[in-house]
Structure 1
């Protein structure tokens, strides 16, 4: 239990953290990785280099300062981050390391403004926040391990099938090497995969949505090849496309994630995806089509052209109103009438194709895509609480 004085000090630092948050988190990662380079085997180095991880952490630290006396308000964020932590193998012993270097970074960036009183207050507050994360994540580890067919950390699965879905997207069907089944999951969840890439010093962990309905036999992940394998974001996707073949093994976490389909809702369902963001929505669509056959469903997908469109036939075979938007359709697309709209999805077009606006909306895709869709949905009168979404990588703000 934090004292009133500690709460007062922490809350008073919130404006400072809002202003200098990214400077602090950037310095934090520099200090921590210098002292503990082994943690580079866990943390996503791509998100470090692009700055997204620093931004996400800064947002979380700021929220913790604002709601330090009402931590129940940030429990949803704690759970969302907890899923990611559990899937990559963050353990209780990592939290003291994080706390030590976060305080060092605050002191380093704020200089004399970070008085001993402020540092002491934040040390106390961090202990309470860390305990909340550890408690939530412990429950998640136990749940993952105790599920039928489940496991705690990483398990070796082999590539039973490798299927090209488009010019840049490939699916990998993963089964346990020991012949056992795999645990069930909720439509929309993801798994982490851990790979050792030749020539790279540290292991790489990435999250990929499960793109099929649960079946107890295999997981299907669907991966887009990034254009440049020399860029940080292309390292794992190009490795999977170019070097991982059928019969090879990959270390896989148990499923995780809170971006899941609400199967208790009877409202119309609207799924909107951009590019490889189709992956979690395919799982949602397949499960809803099977278990809620009377539910009104609309599936809207945007891609560059037919060459980049994954799961076209598979999605079309399910009972949903399907609309396709191609940014730059090819001559073949035009001849075959493979799409409903050319260019980008707009509010005016959504107004026409979504019959009942009082629906549950799920969307996934690149950040710029989701910002545009989020704004368009609000323009046509969709309530904020009806819009559910997931980012590629650390949680950001729309």
Structure 2
């Protein structure tokens, strides 16, 4: 049978039209599927945000209802020896009432009366390290602090020594309600990088517990540094959380691993956490970075992150204790000033390398009250008789007019202080 050429051409054209139509339909179907997936993902994200907002709203109401002003008596209900240097203290209300919910990253401010303080109270802040959803008790975790670095003859930390040597089950402590500003972004899906060293892991354990309880999709990159396996706090809990959720990326660094510490199993990096490690393991620098640990680590990493292009407002630091130094003390544009401590009869020369007013006073033999040393507790408040100050870290609560917080303030002019 002979087929006319025009018929063949017609069939070919029809096939082309059908094929193109099928291809177009397939592309449209693929697009519809992609749009549907995006819509489903967007709906799931919206539902997660609404659920998180509802939980937060309820917890905020409980916080307002149960929070206390001033100090409250808390009973030590359990003491857990975490390792040779670190202990956790579980605290319940001595009055039998309920404890308000706390936000992961908050701390308790204690008023302590150790004998080494000479009859004067000490104010100290310790991060809450427990699960924010478990409100039968609060947990704080405290390392026994030795002499300051480079000063072996100096006395050990008064507050931590008192906790380790004197505080037992049944002890009564005085504390203010949970507070703080070391908090995760409000968006439940915003990825974060958490960097903790030693006992600086404490606020991050509360964050991990809260994340697991809420079931949010936030991506966590957790870098934890410590000396070795014996100093590794909550190893099993960390590994369990990371193993059950692919959105938690855990990197453990041992600075001085023991022969029995297994690389790739107990830890992933030999050495300290530094910028090179972060740049090697992170996909980019567009995260919120949270740092908690020794002052030297925080100062070095903050400078490195800034040099890497991370905006200053996306770098968050928490540091407590006598070795803590607020970030950015050597503030841009700072020049030398004269600081007079009127009641002590001393006049000291300040320059950026001398640090905060509290550090200047201590180096010059002027005794000042202090507590958290990061602008939270208010123990170092001083009346300013003349001159101006500026802050190298935002105070947790602004002091009354005419006063300054010496632990986070530097001179902006010559100063006269009532101290």
The reply to whether TM is greater than 0.5 is: yes
**1:147 is paired with a residue of what secondary structure?**
helix
- 1:272-295 Cα offsets, whole Å, 9 max, x none, are 011111111221222123225322
Shift of 1:148: 2.7
Among 95, 119, 130, the alignment partner of 1:178 is: 95
Among 101, 105, 120, the alignment partner of 1:202 is: 120
Give the equivalent residue in structure 2 for 1:164.
81
Among 357, 367, 370, the alignment partner of 2:298 is: 370
Among 291, 304, 314, the alignment partner of 2:227 is: 304
- 1:44-83 Cα offsets, whole Å, 9 max, x none, are xxxxxxxxxxxxxxxxxxxxxxxxxxxxxxxxxxxxxxxx
Give the equivalent residue in structure 2 for 1:342.
270
Give the equivalent residue in structure 2 for 1:276.
199
- 1:223-277 Cα offsets, whole Å, 9 max, x none, are 0101259846511101111221112111111111111122325221211011111
1:331 matches 2:254: no
Shift of 1:336: 8.1
- TM-score normalised per structure 1: 0.59
Residues 1-398 of structure 1 aligned to structure 2 (within 5 Å): 147-198=64-115, 200-214=118-132, 215-228=134-147, 231=154, 234-318=157-241, 319=245, 320-334=248-262, 337-393=265-321, 396-398=326-328
Higher relative contact order (CA 8 A, sep 6+): 1
Alpha-carbon distance in 2 for matches of 1:283, 1:321: 16
- How many residues in Structure 1 have an aligned counterpart in Structure 2? 256
**2:115 is paired with a residue of what secondary structure?**
coil
Could you tell me whether the CA contact under 8 Å between 1:273 and 1:365 is conserved in 2? yes
Could you tell me whether the CA contact under 8 Å between 1:326 and 1:343 is conserved in 2? yes
Shift of 1:172: 0.4
Question: Which entry has the higher C-alpha Rg, 1 or 2?
Answer: 2
Shift of 1:395: 6.6
Q: 1:219 to 1:232 in 2, by over 3 A?
A: farther
Could you tell me whether the CA contact under 8 Å between 1:149 and 1:181 is conserved in 2? yes
Alpha-carbon distance in 1 for matches of 2:189, 2:235: 26
Alpha-carbon distance in 2 for matches of 1:342, 1:335: 8
Alpha-carbon distance in 1 for matches of 2:172, 2:239: 32
Alpha-carbon distance in 1 for matches of 2:126, 2:143: 10
Alpha-carbon distance in 2 for matches of 1:145, 1:198: 37
Shift of 1:144: 12
Long gaps (5+) in structure 2: 1-59, 329-419
Shift of 1:191: 0.8
**1:202 is paired with a residue of what secondary structure?**
coil
Alpha-carbon distance in 2 for matches of 1:179, 1:286: 25
Shift of 1:376: 3.0
- 1:311-337 Cα offsets, whole Å, 9 max, x none, are 222222223211111111111213784
- 1:363-388 Cα offsets, whole Å, 9 max, x none, are 11111000122233334443322211
Alpha-carbon distance in 2 for matches of 1:145, 1:184: 7
Answer with 229-238 or 212-221: which moved more.
229-238
Alpha-carbon distance in 1 for matches of 2:156, 2:65: 34
Long gaps (5+) in structure 1: 1-142
Q: 1:292 to 1:355 in 2, by over 3 A?
A: farther
Alpha-carbon distance in 1 for matches of 2:75, 2:164: 15
- TM-score normalised per structure 2: 0.56
Alpha-carbon distance in 2 for matches of 1:225, 1:262: 31
Task: Decide which structure has greater helix share.
Answer: 1
Alpha-carbon distance in 2 for matches of 1:146, 1:311: 28
Alpha-carbon distance in 1 for matches of 2:175, 2:141: 14
Alpha-carbon distance in 2 for matches of 1:243, 1:390: 27
